[in-house]
Structures are given as C-alpha cells and as structure tokens.
C-alpha cells in the first residue's frame, strides 16, 4: 500500500498527499472528499474504505485524524445538480487539497481525475487499493459522509438515510417513490428527476 509513496520519496519528494471522494453514486446527500498527508510511520490496516467494516473504518478514522495532516471538503447536492457529479467530485478534491495545513510536493489522485493544483500529480485507477495516502483519504471521506447521512436521518427519518446513506438500494427507491424527493435528494439523478418530472406533469 505504500509503494507509490516510497517510490516518490526515493525521487526526492518529501510531502506526499493522497485524495479521494465518497458519495458519487448516491441519490441523496453531498459528495465528500478528503486529502491526507500520512505521517512517516505506517498506520496498520489502512485499505480502501469499501473493503473495511464500519467499526474498522471508525477506528482508522480516529488514528488518521490524530496522526496525519487532513483536509476535508463537502459539496452539497444543490451544487452537484448545478455542475454535475463529475465536476462536483473534482471540486471537492481540490477544496480538500487547499484545506491542508501543509503544502504537498506531490498529490496522488484516485481514479482518472485530473486536478489543477500547484504541485505535481499522479492519477491512479483504483488508487484506494494501491496507495496508502489515497486509502486514508477514502476512509476519512467515507466516515465523514456516513456521519452526515446519519444526521440527515434525524431530520428526514422517513427515508432511512442512516441505513443506506443515500445509495440507490431497493429500500431507498421504495421510500423515494412513497414519500417523493426530500430537500437533500439530487434532482439531476435520473430516479429522482423522473419523480420530479412526473409530479410536474
């Protein structure tokens, strides 16, 4: 998991950051990105957040937050609807990068995304499974977003956001059809858009 970071250090880069997002696929809620500069020592257990249990993610979240340099960004569903989820994901990553208190020499980016930042970058397909820095960012982004969705559950309990976190599960689709879109549903996403359009017609 540290091979990209170790190779970059051998090439003379000192401060290496990784960035990833959570929430591209849901029908509701924000997209959240994190950017992480890991400490010199390895944090055991870091992996793609999707490969970890909720309990393990929460444990690693606390360890990363206490030992690493972290930037986090939250882009609302209204902005997603305005500029599309791809651009919103890029914006979230860029804002998270600028939230860092240290200036990185190099940025590792999950997926094929390109970011216009002031340091050198490398995009890595499935980077959250190959780079510890990106994996750490995926953990921070995922836990942060899940916590936000649990807060939204308190506000809109009829949608059961605490369980599905806004993803298009069968249960979520059923509740969406039953209650109609909530204020945090993404109107530009087809299942929600179709319901909104049918209401208008």
- Which pLDDT belongs to residue 77? 97
Question: Does any domain span residue 141?
Answer: yes
Q: Confirm whether pTM is higher than 0.85.
A: yes
Q: Is residue 43 part of a domain?
A: yes
What confidence tens digit (pLDDT) does each residue in 66-92 have? 999 999 999 999 999 999 999 999 999
- The CATH number of residue 30's host domain is 3.30.420.10
* Domain-embedded: residue 118: yes
Alpha carbon distance 201, 199 (integer Å): 5
Q: Which domain holds residue 65?
A: 3-150
Count CA within 13 A, CB hemisphere, residue 57: 19
Please give the backbone phi and psi of residue 112, each rounded to the nearest 5 degrees, phi first.
-85, 10
Whether residue 131 is contained in a domain is answered as yes
Helix (H, G, I), strand (E, B) or coil at 119: coil
| C-alpha to C-alpha distance for 107 and 119, rounded to whole angstroms | 7
Residue 189 · residue 197 · CB < 8 Å: no
Q: Considering the domain boundaries, does residue 197 fall inside one? A: no
Cα–Cα distance measured from residue 182 to residue 192, given in angstroms and rounded to the nearest whole number: 10
The mean pLDDT of 57-72, rounded to a whole number, is 97
Average pLDDT score, the chain: 94
pLDDT tens, 21-31?
Answer: 999 999 999 99
How many structural domains compose the chain? 1
Q: What are phi and psi of 25, to 5 degrees?
A: -90, -20
């Amino acid at each position: 998991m540290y091979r990209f970071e170790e190779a970059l250090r051998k090439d003379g880069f000192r401060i290496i950051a990784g960035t990833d997002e959570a929430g591209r696929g849901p029908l509701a809620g924000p997209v959240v990105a994190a950017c992480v500069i890991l400490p010199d020592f390895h944090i055991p257990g870091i992996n793609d957040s999707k490969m970890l249990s909720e309990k393990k993610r929460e444990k690693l979240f606390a360890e990363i937050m206490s030992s690493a340099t972290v930037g986090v960004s939250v882009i609302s569903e209204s902005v997603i609807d305005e500029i599309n989820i791809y651009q919103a994901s890029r914006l979230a990553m860029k804002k998270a990068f600028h939230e860092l208190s240290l200036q990185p020499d190099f940025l590792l980016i999950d997926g094929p995304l390109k970011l216009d930042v002031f340091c050198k970058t490398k995009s890595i397909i499935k980077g959250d499974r190959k780079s510890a820095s990106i994996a750490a960012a995926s953990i921070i982004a995922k836990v942060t977003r899940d916590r936000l969705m649990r807060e939204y559950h308190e506000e809109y309990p009829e949608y059961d956001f605490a369980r599905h976190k806004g993803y298009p599960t069968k249960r979520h689709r059923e509740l969406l059809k039953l209650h109609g879109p909530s204020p945090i549903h993404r109107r530009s996403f087809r299942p929600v858009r179709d319901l909104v359009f049918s209401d208008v017609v």
